[in-house]
């Protein structure tokens, strides 16, 4: 088994390691951009290539160039942002670009087929005295450049590809997964890919990794409420795994166990999932408790902020359904990130009995009995006594989930205050089975995602 795993890891590494020519082209372009920025007449002090390319932990085909422009601490925030954007626009002159947002605006776009980000940051000497959230990135870069060995760079690539293969990789809140920086810290902590996977397979809830031994386990658990706690080596007050969701945490553990039991290249590269045919999809879409709601996609919102709002909205709708006695078995969200956001709610039943039984206080509690009886003067049956308690039967205000959701969406449109309100104002509707099927036929991306949802199975369990 060990030799077989070794062959799989070697084969994977050969496929995912960039060629010397590829790295040379990337670094040459990075140098050209850096020199161009340094020649500009602004207050920039230095320019630094950061991220996986700078540390040579990037995967073949990942054409991302993260270039940070550092300004002196004394420059005021409005001027800092103004100059940062001006430099970014000059870099992309003649190329495709857009304004993006982190904690502050920056410019990103494409140059010669590469995804380039020009991010302004303050040049600080102490990671605990940040002036903007991105200021610590340079400290991350310097720390890892001084710690990772040549062999470990390959081990990081293996871990990144493994997480990509099981759909648990990415810094964006949309995925709630493992960012690149965390993969590097995990390899630094455990040494190799194989040792990392073995340790992950044994992780418990609130696993703590503190490479620099900066705080006690008790302090870490009190400070961070998270399934996985990885203390940032350059900032002990930060858990770099905070965005990892409980589901993704569990998925990584389960996939690691499955891989150790039966290693396969499929864990790294996945398999082409065949979507359900129209007949199969139609049968599942018609399932009684399956409800899809659609709202518009609010453009010009920061992706990470928006996905946080999307998740909160999904929980809000689920909670509202549960309050009306509709049992939510599972729910999920999808978006094309252009026009629409889809919320899926799989209910135990879409329709409930029209009459609901309400159990009141014990008859012996005179005060509460009086309040209960006064509150339930409108009733279908009762009041009567069962097991020493008052009982009445009342008519439900809503006994169909689809009807209730239509009303609830109107309430959300009126009361929602976050950026997602723009999406609700664009469009907010409960989709009919016919509309869901039409969307399934026409939208390939939705079809692939919805097929996986309908099958309801972790892909790696079939390997």
> Can you spell out the DSSP letters for 177-216?
-B-HHHHHHHHHHHSSHHHHHHHHTT--TTEEE-TT--S-
pLDDT, mean of residues 40-62? 93
Q: For the ranges 100-109, 327-336, 403-412, which has the lowest average pLDDT?
A: 100-109
**Domain residues of the chain, as ranges?**
18-146, 148-269, 278-351+399-462, 361-392
Task: Indicate the helix (H) or strand (E) that contains 19.
Answer: none
Question: Is-contact 304 50, C-beta < 8 A?
Answer: no
Class (C level, CATH) for 148-269: mainly alpha
For 244-318, strand residue ranges (E) read 290-296
Where does the pLDDT of residue 1 fall: very low under 50, low under 70, confident under 90, or very high at 90 and above? low
What are the Cα distances from residue 407, in Å, to 268, 320, 321, 433?
Answer: 45, 11, 12, 19
d(CA 98, CA 120): 15
**What are 386's strand-pairing partners?**
389
What are the Cα distances from residue 295, in Å, to 72, 341, 404?
Answer: 44, 5, 16
**What pLDDT is recorded for position 239?**
95
Where does the pLDDT of residue 405 fall: very low under 50, low under 70, confident under 90, or very high at 90 and above? very high
Where does the pLDDT of residue 65 fall: very low under 50, low under 70, confident under 90, or very high at 90 and above? very high
pLDDT, mean of residues 13-41? 95
Could you read off the pLDDT of 215-230 as tens digits, one per residue?
Answer: 999 999 999 999 999 9
Tell the residue number behind the tokens 């039943």, with chain if given: 349
Specify the fold of 18-146. Answer: Beta Polymerase; domain 2 (3.30.460)
**What pLDDT is recorded for position 170?**
85
d(CA 285, CA 290): 7
Question: Is-contact 305 419, C-beta < 8 A?
Answer: yes
Could you read off the pLDDT of 84-133 as tens digits, one per residue?
Answer: 999 999 999 999 898 888 778 899 999 998 999 999 999 998 878 888 88
- What's the alpha-carbon Rg for the chain, to the nearest Å? 27
Q: In what order do the strands lie in the sheet with 114-122?
A: 46-50, 64-71, 114-122, 105-111, 96-101
d(CA 69, CA 82): 13
Q: Is the peptide bond before 253 cis (omega within 30 degrees of 0)?
A: no
The answer, yes or no, to whether residue 463 has pLDDT greater than 70, is no
Could you read off the pLDDT of 260-273 as tens digits, one per residue?
Answer: 999 999 999 987 77
**What pLDDT is recorded for position 408?**
94
pLDDT, mean of residues 402-416? 91
Tell the residue number behind the tokens 């990144």, with chain if given: 160
Q: What is the pTM of this model?
A: 0.84
d(CA 397, CA 324): 9
Could you name the CATH architecture of 278-351+399-462?
2-Layer Sandwich (3.30)
Region class of 256: left (phi > 0), else alpha (psi between -120 and 50), else beta? alpha
**What pLDDT is recorded for position 171?**
74
d(CA 81, CA 77): 6
Structure tokens at 285: 């879409």
Could you read off the pLDDT of 173-195 as tens digits, one per residue?
Answer: 778 899 999 999 999 999 999 99
Where does the pLDDT of residue 455 fall: very low under 50, low under 70, confident under 90, or very high at 90 and above? confident
Mean of the per-residue pLDDT values of the chain: 92
Structure tokens at 154: 């390959």
Structure tokens at 297: 């996609």
Q: How many CA atoms lie within 13 A of 259 on its CB side?
A: 30
Instruction: Return the percent helix, strand and coil in the chain, to nearest 5.
Output: 45, 20, 30
Question: Is-contact 324 349, C-beta < 8 A?
Answer: no
**What pLDDT is recorded for position 266?**
93
pLDDT, mean of residues 324-330? 93
**What pLDDT is recorded for position 126?**
84
**What pLDDT is recorded for position 272?**
76
**Among residues of the chain, what percentage have pLDDT more than 70?**
99
**What are 231's strand-pairing partners?**
239
């Amino acid at each position: 088994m060990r030799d077989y795993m070794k062959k799989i890891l070697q084969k994977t590494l050969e496929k995912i390691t960039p060629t010397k020519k590829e790295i040379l082209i990337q670094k040459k372009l990075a140098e050209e951009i850096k020199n161009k920025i340094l020649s500009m007449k602004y207050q920039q002090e230095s320019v630094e290539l950061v991220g996986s390319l700078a540390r040579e932990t990037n995967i073949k085909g990942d054409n991302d160039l993260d270039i940070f422009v550092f300004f002196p601490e004394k420059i005021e925030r409005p001027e800092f942002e103004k100059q940062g954007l001006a430099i970014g626009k000059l870099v992309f002159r003649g190329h495709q670009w857009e304004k993006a947002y982190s904690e502050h605006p920056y410019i990103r776009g494409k140059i010669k087929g590469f995804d380039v980000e020009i991010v302004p940051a303050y040049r600080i000497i102490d990671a605990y005295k940040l002036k903007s959230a991105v200021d610590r990135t340079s400290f991350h870069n310097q720390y890892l450049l001084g710690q990772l060995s040549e062999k470990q760079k390959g081990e990081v690539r293996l871990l990144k590809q493994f997480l990509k293969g099981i759909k648990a990789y990415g810094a964006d809140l949309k995925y709630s997964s493992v960012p690149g920086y965390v993969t590097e810290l995990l390899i630094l902590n455990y040494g190799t890919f194989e040792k990392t996977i073995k340790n992950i397979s044994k992780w418990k809830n609130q696993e703590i990794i503190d490479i620099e031994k900066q705080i006690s386990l008790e302090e870490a658990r009190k400070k961070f409420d998270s399934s996985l706690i990885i203390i940032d080596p350059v900032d002990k007050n930060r858990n770099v795994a905070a965005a990892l969701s409980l589901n993704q945490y569990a998925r990584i553990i389960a996939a690691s166990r499955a891989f150790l039991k039966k290693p396969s290249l499929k864990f790294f590269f996945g398999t082409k999932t065949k979507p359900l045919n129209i007949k199969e999809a139609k049968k599942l879409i018609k399932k009684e408790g399956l409800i899809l709601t659609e709202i518009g996609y609010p453009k010009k919102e920061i992706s990470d902020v928006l996905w946080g709002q999307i998740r909160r909205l999904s929980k809000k709708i689920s909670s509202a359904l549960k309050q009306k006695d509709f049992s939510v078995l599972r729910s999920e969200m999808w978006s094309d990130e252009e026009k629409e956001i889809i919320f899926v709610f799989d209910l135990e039943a879409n329709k409930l009995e029209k009459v609901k039984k309400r159990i009141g206080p014990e008859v012996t509690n005179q005060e509460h009995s009086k309040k209960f009886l006064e509150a339930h003067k409108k009733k279908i049956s009762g009041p009567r006594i069962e097991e020493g308690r008052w009982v009445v039967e009342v008519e439900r205000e809503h006994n169909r989930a689809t009807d209730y959701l239509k009303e609830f969406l109107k309430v959300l449109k009126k009361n929602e205050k976050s950026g997602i309100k723009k999406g609700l104002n664009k469009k907010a509707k409960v989709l009919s089975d016919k509309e869901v099927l039409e969307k399934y036929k026409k939208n390939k991306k939705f079809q692939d995602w919805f097929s996986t949802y309908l099958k309801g199975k972790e892909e790696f369990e079939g390997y």
